[in-house]
């Protein structure tokens, strides 16, 4: 089991500016969050070729609830969260998933 905070970014008004800020500023801020066991990010595309509901999605993984709650209260998470307004002109939706490996 692990907990994942997903951050789903809407389509920005300036994709190049989003990409530049995300890579140069936001990723280092997010990677500094204490207790992270894994951090992923990627751009979204749809399987049928239609416009996807999000531009990009990031995943911040934590071993357990206590670790995630500590991270959420940390100055590093406040810094990363505060930075979202600097580049996410399409908005951001966040949620938590309690993930379980089910194998293949």
Q: Could you tell me which residues come within 8 angstroms of residue 61 by beta carbon, excluding any fewer than 6 positions away?
A: 2, 3, 4, 36, 37, 38, 39, 40
Is residue 89 a part of any domain in this protein? yes
Residue 92 belongs to domain spanning: 2-99
Query: Confidence band (pLDDT; 50, 70, 90) for 20?
Result: very high
Quick check: 25 pLDDT over 90? yes
Is residue 95 a part of any domain in this protein? yes
Quick check: 104 pLDDT over 90? no
Q: Render pLDDT for 44-102 as a digit per residue (tens, 0 to 9).
A: 999 999 999 999 999 999 999 999 999 999 999 999 999 999 999 999 999 999 999 89
Is residue 53 a part of any domain in this protein? yes
Closest CA to 89 of 26, 9, 33: 9
Task: Give the CA radius of gyration of the chain.
Answer: 14
Q: How far apart are the first and last CA of the chain?
A: 16
φ/ψ of residue 5, rounded to 5: -95, 120
Is residue 90 a part of any domain in this protein? yes
Is residue 67 a part of any domain in this protein? yes
Domain count, the chain: 1
CATH number of the structural domain spanning residue 93: 3.30.70.100
Is residue 104 a part of any domain in this protein? no
């Amino acid at each position: 089991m692990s907990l994942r905070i997903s951050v789903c970014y809407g389509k920005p008004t300036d994709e190049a500016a989003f990409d530049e800020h995300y890579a140069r500023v936001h990723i280092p801020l997010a990677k500094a969050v204490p207790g992270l066991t894994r951090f992923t990010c990627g751009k979204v595309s749809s399987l049928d070729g239609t416009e996807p509901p999000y531009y990009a999605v990031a995943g911040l993984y934590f071993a357990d609830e206590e670790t995630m709650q500590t991270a959420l209260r940390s100055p590093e998470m406040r810094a990363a969260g505060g930075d979202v307004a600097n580049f996410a002109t399409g908005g951001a939706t966040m949620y938590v998933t309690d993930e379980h490996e089910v194998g293949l």
